[in-house]
Amino acid sequence: MTIVSVSITGPDADTLGTITRHLVEARLAACGNIIPAIRSIYRWQGNIEDEAEAYVLLHTRAEHIPAIIERVNAEHPYDTVQILATEIDHVDSAYRQWVIDETAPPDRP
C-alpha cells in the first residue's frame, strides 16, 4: 500500500483546520500538520501576487487522493486550489502502519 503526503495551501489556518478535520473524520487522512503562516508569491490572472497563506500537509493512502481532491475543492474558498500529492518512498514502519490503520479503505468508512 502506497503512503502519500498531500500539501494544500489556503487563506488561513482556520479554513485549513476545518477542511483537515473533515478529512480526518471521514478517515481519508490520518492526520494533517498545519503551518499557520507562509508567504506565497505567484502569478494569478496576469498579476504577480504576494499573499499570506497557511499550509497543511496530510498523510494518507494513495487511493484516497481522488476523494481528497473532490472534498477539498468542494470546501475550499479558492477557485484553483493547490493540492499536491507526493509518494513517500521511505517511512518508519510503525508510522506507516498507523497511517494505514487510521485511514479507511476507499470502499468503507
Hey, is 108 helix, strand or coil? coil
The mean pLDDT value for 75-79 works out to 97
pTM over 0.75: yes
pLDDT at 64: 97
Cα 62 to the center of its chain, rounded Å: 12
In tens, the pLDDT along 13-49 reads 999 999 999 999 999 999 999 999 999 999 999 999 9
CA nearest to 107, candidates 74, 65, 64:
64
In the predicted model, is pLDDT for residue 109 greater than 90?
no
pLDDT at 104: 85
Among the four given CATH numbers 3.30.70.120, 3.40.50.720, 3.40.50.300, 3.40.920.10, the one describing domain 3-102: 3.30.70.120
CA 28, CA 103: separation in Å to the nearest integer?
6
Share of the chain above pLDDT 90, in %: 94
Give the chain's mean pLDDT: 95
In the predicted model, is pLDDT for residue 87 greater than 70?
yes
Rounded to the nearest 10 degrees, what angle do helices 13-25 and 65-75 cross at? Answer: 140
In the predicted model, is pLDDT for residue 5 greater than 70?
yes
What's the full length of the chain, in residues?
Answer: 109
Confidence of residue 71 (pLDDT cuts 50, 70, 90): very high
User: How does DSSP assign 27-70, residue by residue?
Assistant: TS-SEEEEEEEEEEEEEETTEEEEEEEEEEEEEEEGGGHHHHHH
In the chain, the amino acid numbered 29 is: A
